[in-house]
Chains A and B, each alone.
Chain A
């Protein structure tokens, strides 16, 4: 079945710098990869997603890239702001159309 690994587990950046979080997946048939942002004590919020028929998707300061050959995808946040501080989760869709989540990355943006 699908397995999703995420790294780093923690990431600290200076405000204004870029942050990159990487995930790898095991099932080559997986075709949907969302990213979620979770603030303390709240439910995860879908921030961007990508399907396997495209290699990159952007939405303002965030972007996701997908490398199907290498089976990895990454979240890129540019011009980071303190409000970007949160836990970020990647996920892949398994053959039963359910999401398999990575273990999360705690991002800290230092003012």
Chain B
């Protein structure tokens, strides 16, 4: 059963702690993306990777970091430098380097208190 998995679905952390969100895909897609969604708002791009061992900053990369060591995996670390980390985080992938037919995972809701 092909798709994108994100774990965990809910994540709670104390302020000042780094936290890593998992994203795995078995679609053999080249490109992977991380978005942030705040209540009642659209999707904002954090980071994206079009090829293994390479990634680019999106519109709101400050306070986040990523790695792309394997084609299937694109973990996102929310660092303590992110001033307002509580949000719904969505991972996505697309078959080629461009975002045609981009598919999303189920999301991780992060709450930092």
CB pair A104–B102 under 8 Å, yes or no, is: no
A44 to B90, CA, bound (A): 9
CB pair A102–B101 under 8 Å, yes or no, is: no
CB pair A43–B98 under 8 Å, yes or no, is: no
Known: A42-B106, A42-B107, A44-B90. A97 touches B99 (CB 8 A): yes
Residues of A within 8 A of B (CB): 32, 34, 36, 41-46, 49, 89, 93, 97-99, 101-104
CB pair B101–A49 under 8 Å, yes or no, is: yes
Chain B residues with CB below 8 A from A104, complex form:
40-42
Q: Contact check: which of B45, B58, B104 meets A45 at CB < 8 Å?
A: B104
CB pair B102–A99 under 8 Å, yes or no, is: yes
CB pair A89–B48 under 8 Å, yes or no, is: no
CB pair A102–B107 under 8 Å, yes or no, is: no
- Cross-chain pairs A/B with CB under 8 angstroms, 15 sampled: A32-B99, A42-B106, A43-B6, A43-B92, A43-B106, A43-B107, A44-B43, A93-B98, A93-B100, A97-B98, A98-B48, A99-B102, A102-B42, A103-B41, A104-B40
Known: A103-B41, A103-B42. A44 touches B104 (CB 8 A): yes
A46 to B101, CA, bound (A): 7
A34 to B105, CA, bound (A): 17
CB pair A98–B99 under 8 Å, yes or no, is: yes
Chain A residues with CB below 8 A from B99, complex form:
32, 93, 97-99
